[in-house]
Structure 1
Amino acid sequence: MASNVVAQAAVFALRRKIAKIEGTLPEKLVAAGVAILHPSGSAWAEAGASGFLHTGVARLDNVLGGGVPAAALTEIHGGEMRDAGAVTGFALALASLSRNREPDREKRFLVLWIGMSQAFAETGFPHAPGLGALTGLAPDEIIIAQAPKLTDALWIAEEAARLRELSAVFLEIHGNPVRLDLTATRRLHRRAQLAGRPVFLLRQAARAEPTAAPLRLVVSPAPATARSTLTGPLADTIGCPAFTVTVSKSRTALPGQFILEWNPHERAFQERQPENSRPVVSAPAVRPDISPAAGAVVAFKSARPAAAVAHQPSRQQHPAHRGARRTG
């Protein structure tokens, strides 16, 4: 009984420290329908009935423990600046999935894209006609906010994450600024939990560092295949956009790398299987294909006796071998 009291006192003290950092009363840390994520990972934050955003790729959803969290902070990283297009395209594809998942189709779908002036100068502004063809998002469904400083971008993201009218919030940051620390990401994650909407943190040309986001995906472009037709692949054509997605951090701690293709017509992901994933030799029809034991001879005899005989002198070179050797 005494140990339980001490544990509860420690948890309450920790909540007070978090509330002091965030400027929130300790009693408001636990909201209705929201569970606190303990350091042991035993409890998972659930905002209402939002659950997860399924990518449509069963193997990826299993590695992520159900999919991308629909009410949490999610990091999408690009290792180099030249990967910015792939990072942006993958993030907007997730927004399109979130739109298709919206239960109330009559509700207006709004996405807020927050970027710093440096990031927009490097990667450019999102192109409305291209976004419509890729994700189906209309130009009036995307709100772009340009912030000159990181503090302004973080303030806009924190305030926007509170709004339930927004379906998703994207924050695009270049590099590894000092102010984007564990405290700042914890505030964004908490706002996403309370609002029940996802907040995506796009890290362009950044290295991984400790954050409060339960999921981190590293995205890079993958070679596109040729367009498929009824008669086969069409030569000299470019097919669907492809992304190489690596799970760098997740609540299941299961690593994995996937090549995903985005179908802009069906608004869905599909996994591309490696070219050498099919068996080269067909399995035998008479007996099961059982691999031989280690060290067993499969088709050839050992060559050691023959090699030993080859080193022996011939009888023509040593005639003395034919008769008995004299002694004395």
Structure 2
Amino acid sequence: MAMTAVARETVFALRRQIAKIEGTLPERLEVPVGAPVDADLTLKADLTFVRRGLAVAPQDAFLQTGATRLDGALSGGLPKAALNEIHGTETRDAGAVAGFALSLISLILKQGPRLPVLWVGTSEIFHEAGFPYARGLHSLFGIEPEQLLFSEAPKLVDALWVTEEAARMTALAAVILEIRGNPQRLDLTATRRLHARAQNAGRPVFLLRQAAEPEPTAAPVRLILSPAPATARETIAGPLAGSIGRPAFTVTIGKSRTALPGQFTLEWNPDEHCFEERWPQKGRTEKGRAENSVPVVPASRRGKDPAAAAGAVLAFPAIGSPDAISSTARDQPSPGERAAHLSPRRAG
């Protein structure tokens, strides 16, 4: 009986470790009253079992974005103690990826202690995409410049080592690793180490990838980011034509253990430091703010192009009028003259 109890406890420990590696939070089951108990096995009330299917996790284990549909698709939001991937399919999307990551950092600092955040990257990354603007950190995200620390490594292997060491530190609110493309060193084993460090420390690690293709990693969630067209700035009198409103992101769920692929358009509210989902079918955000309905491109050739408003004043007389004919005759050059732009260019 003693050997059976030891073997059962070993199986439970292995199941818990597998759940950590896979990024699932195992369900906690209470021992039912009256259950048969071996004489040599002391069952604990908080014994952890792993069931097939979706696991049940506490609500505070997720970082809620504030967008109801996105949080619902992710079963509560992004996991806090885990490795989360944020992809940009093109290099020009690096600004949107960084802005979305800073928005998540703003939510973390808003909900918990205002600890510093470490941003790790290689020299190639920071030379290509640059650094966040210090003054914009406070005005847009509520992040003080001294709270955001940067580590510029000469090579990717050094950046991975710095990230692994920082991921185990509980003195940091989060760790960001930004890389480019699909390097061989960032394989499944490397991401498993990052994911395990994040779980043990209870802090998120965000993996930002520029111009990368999806590949197998240990991250339970992968979001694909691209910039979305901004709407007009809101005023008391309504949308201000020709202005640029709040930052907007197109978020696509590329990988999730609890959600099917889906796409969402989020706007970042820099005043309240929260996301608001844009509803294209209604032309409004979650709080009822109207979208800009002015077309940004001409209509199709087969359709009707919206005509521009007629002007009140004409710069030249109407074609066919006596004034237009006399003016045209005066502007014609004489037979002996030649237009300046038709004469040969001087070599000197």
Equivalent-residue separation in structure 1 for 2:278 and 2:17 (angstroms): 45
Normalising by structure 1, we get a TM-score of: 0.71
Contact 1:170–1:200, Cα closer than 8 Å, also in 2 = yes
Report % sequence identity: 59
Equivalent-residue separation in structure 1 for 2:206 and 2:50 (angstroms): 19
Report whether the alignment pairs 1:131 with 2:141: no
Q: Alpha carbons of 1:176 and 1:96: their partners in 2 closer, same or farther (altered >3 Å)? A: same
Corresponding residue for residue 62 of structure 1: 72
Contact 2:54–2:258, Cα closer than 8 Å, also in 1 = no
Alignment partner of 1:272: what SS?
strand
Equivalent-residue separation in structure 2 for 1:225 and 1:124 (angstroms): 26
Higher relative contact order (CA 8 A, sep 6+): 1
Out of 160, 164, 167, the position equivalent to 1:161 is 167
Q: Alpha carbons of 1:195 and 1:12: their partners in 2 closer, same or farther (altered >3 Å)? A: closer
Aligned pairs for 1:195-206 (under 5 A) are 195-206=201-212
Corresponding residue for residue 246 of structure 1: 252
CA distances 1:118-142 after superposition (whole Å, capped 9, x unpaired): 1111101222112222211111000
Corresponding residue for residue 114 of structure 1: 120
Aligned pairs for 1:1-328 (under 5 A) are 12=14, 42-43=54-55, 50-102=60-112, 107-274=113-280
CA distances 1:180-213 after superposition (whole Å, capped 9, x unpaired): 0111111111111111111100011100000000
Give the residue type in structure 2 aligned to 1:186.
R
Equivalent-residue separation in structure 1 for 2:127 and 2:47 (angstroms): 38
Contact 2:247–2:267, Cα closer than 8 Å, also in 1 = yes
Segments of structure 1 that go 5 or more residues without pairing to the other structure are 20-32, 279-328
Q: Alpha carbons of 1:270 and 1:35: their partners in 2 closer, same or farther (altered >3 Å)? A: farther
Contact 1:51–1:70, Cα closer than 8 Å, also in 2 = yes
Contact 1:71–1:198, Cα closer than 8 Å, also in 2 = yes
Segments of structure 2 that go 5 or more residues without pairing to the other structure are 22-45, 285-348
Equivalent-residue separation in structure 2 for 1:173 and 1:37 (angstroms): 34
Contact 2:178–2:208, Cα closer than 8 Å, also in 1 = yes
Q: Alpha carbons of 1:229 and 1:217: their partners in 2 closer, same or farther (altered >3 Å)? A: same
CA distances 1:3-23 after superposition (whole Å, capped 9, x unpaired): x9699669859969x99xxxx
Q: Alpha carbons of 1:142 and 1:14: their partners in 2 closer, same or farther (altered >3 Å)? A: closer
**Deviates further, 139-148 or 127-136:** 127-136
Alignment partner of 2:152: what SS?
strand
State the shift of 1:91 in Å: 0.4
Equivalent-residue separation in structure 2 for 1:90 and 1:197 (angstroms): 18
State the shift of 1:230 in Å: 2.2
Equivalent-residue separation in structure 2 for 1:37 and 1:124 (angstroms): 44
Give the residue type in structure 1 aligned to 2:260.
L
State the shift of 1:98 in Å: 0.6
CA distances 1:210-257 after superposition (whole Å, capped 9, x unpaired): 000000000000000001122211111000000000011112132210
CA distances 1:241-299 after superposition (whole Å, capped 9, x unpaired): 00000011112132210000001111010011115669xxxxxxxxxxxxxxxxxxxxx
Aligned-pair Cα RMSD in Å: 3.1
Contact 1:45–1:193, Cα closer than 8 Å, also in 2 = no
Contact 2:75–2:259, Cα closer than 8 Å, also in 1 = no
Q: Alpha carbons of 1:37 and 1:86: their partners in 2 closer, same or farther (altered >3 Å)? A: farther
Give the residue type in structure 2 aligned to 1:170.
I
Q: Alpha carbons of 1:183 and 1:41: their partners in 2 closer, same or farther (altered >3 Å)? A: farther
Q: Alpha carbons of 1:7 and 1:181: their partners in 2 closer, same or farther (altered >3 Å)? A: farther
State the shift of 1:109 in Å: 2.2
Give the residue type in structure 1 aligned to 2:222.
R
Contact 1:64–1:254, Cα closer than 8 Å, also in 2 = no
Equivalent-residue separation in structure 1 for 2:153 and 2:166 (angstroms): 14
CA distances 1:76-97 after superposition (whole Å, capped 9, x unpaired): 0000000000000000000000
Q: Alpha carbons of 1:258 and 1:37: their partners in 2 closer, same or farther (altered >3 Å)? A: farther
Q: Alpha carbons of 1:109 and 1:5: their partners in 2 closer, same or farther (altered >3 Å)? A: closer
Equivalent-residue separation in structure 2 for 1:267 and 1:15 (angstroms): 36
